[in-house]
Amino acid sequence: MTNMRAFVLTRYGGPDGMEFRHVPTPSAGPGEVLIQVYAAGLNPIDFKARQGTMRLIYRYRFPIIAGSELSGVVVAMGSGVTRLAEGDRVFARVDKQRLGAFAEFVVVREELVARMPTSVDFSTAAGVPLAGLTALQALRDELRVTSGQNIFVSGGSGGVGTFALQLGRWLGAHLATTASARGKEMARKLGADIVVDYTCERFEDVLHDYDGALDLIGGDTLLKTFQVVRRGVKVVSIAGVPEPRTASKDLQSGPARAALFWAASWRVRREARKHGVAYRYMFMHPSGADLSELAALIDQQKLEVVTDRVFPFAQIADAFAYLEQGHAKGKVVVQMVEQ
């Protein structure tokens, strides 16, 4: 069996909890495809997994190859694969328990994979799956955004935010967001009608009676978001605190985890109730069908992928250091194969 190079999560903790190793190249089983990885996107969830902040949700067995999203080429297929073929250029958000994108090869279930947009390169496509799926599912499925609604998206110049603004515009919404002076122009270009410079303005003083909100920042920003929406609507967060419905709907967990999330989210839910707002914490679910929809929007030039920086795979530690500074405008990507 041949070996491949991979960036492996070995333990919880700081940056030294991840390291390069040579590990066996995987083989595709029934219903799976083996993908040669050309590029992989980095996301906050990747370093949060390393830090251990996700351990109540995902329990990994170390060592495990890290990485959540990728683009590449199908090089082999297991039995039962019917939708994809060898040589297909694809992208995917991998299984949340298996991970594996930070490697030269990865095995992914066919239903999580889609053909990547034909109009972009591998590095660009690698930055789509996690953030794109999150924004699409939050706006379309949870907030059920319709034409003419006023929607607030906090943090519109980040990875998920850049997709959320464009998808919100595609759905016909009027959008407000927060950004720094450096991100203001980009947020307007991507679809924001109102951009509040959070370095010198308080969005809760500027925005009122919105029809829904997508919180991408959490903390005090989430609590203040309840003030800017009208009573009876929903605030969806991917950065706040999981609530009981998260356990059943997103994680298919039982009452024990729901009770844990009930206690952890008590303060946030109390604040939401005070403002007459429904609070929902959402975990995106991998979906090849939704990725195909995103690919079509990209090829139709209705969705632009904003990439901040591309690093060589050998410099992935530097890429994480850059991402963790929190200043990236768009996606941070590592490239395994020269393009």
pLDDT above 90 covers what percent of the chain? 89
pLDDT at 212 over 90: yes
Beta-carbon contacts of residue 34 (< 8 Å; ≥ 6 apart)? 26, 27, 28, 74, 75, 76, 77, 105, 106, 107
Torsional sign, CA 22, 286, 172, 195? negative
Tens-digit pLDDT profile for residues 215-259? 999 999 999 999 999 999 999 999 999 999 998 888 888 898 999
Tokens of 306: 């904003």
pLDDT at 290 over 90: yes
Give the per-residue pLDDT at 86: 98
DSSP string, 10-71: -SSSSGGGEEEEEEEPP---TTEEEEEEEEEEE-HHHHHHHHTTTTTT----SSEE--SEEE
pLDDT band at 55 (very low <50, low <70, confident <90, very high): confident
Tens-digit pLDDT profile for residues 180-193? 988 899 999 999 99
Buried b (16+ CB within 10 A) or exposed e, 23-51: bebbebeeebbbbbbbbbbbbbbbbebbe
Nearest-angstrom CA–CA distance, 314 and 301: 32
Instruction: Tell me the CA end-to-end span of the chain in Å, nearest whole number.
Output: 27
In order of 104, 126, 274, 339, the CA distances from 178 in angstroms are 37, 26, 24, 35
User: Which position has the higher pLDDT, 290 or 327?
Assistant: 290
Give the per-residue pLDDT at 1: 61
CATH label, 131-281, candidates 3.40.50.1970, 1.20.1740.10, 3.40.50.720, 3.40.50.300: 3.40.50.720
pLDDT at 339 over 80: no
Give the per-residue pLDDT at 207: 98
- What mean pLDDT is reported for the chain? 95
pLDDT at 299 over 90: yes
Q: Could you tell me the residue ranges of all domains in the chain?
A: 3-128+305-335, 131-281
Architecture of domain 3-128+305-335: Alpha-Beta Complex (3.90)
- Per-residue pLDDT averaged across 55-84, rounded? 94
The three-state DSSP-derived secondary structure of 113-132 is EEECCCCCCHHHHHCCHHHH
Give the per-residue pLDDT at 329: 85
Nearest-angstrom CA–CA distance, 118 and 125: 9
Give the per-residue pLDDT at 170: 98
pLDDT at 48 over 80: yes
Q: What is this structure's pTM? A: 0.95
Q: How many CB atoms lie within 10 A of CB 137?
A: 20
Cα–Cα nearest to 305, from 35, 71, 74: 71
Give the per-residue pLDDT at 327: 82
Three-class DSSP category at 245: helix
- Per-residue pLDDT averaged across 101-129, rounded? 98
Give the per-residue pLDDT at 192: 98
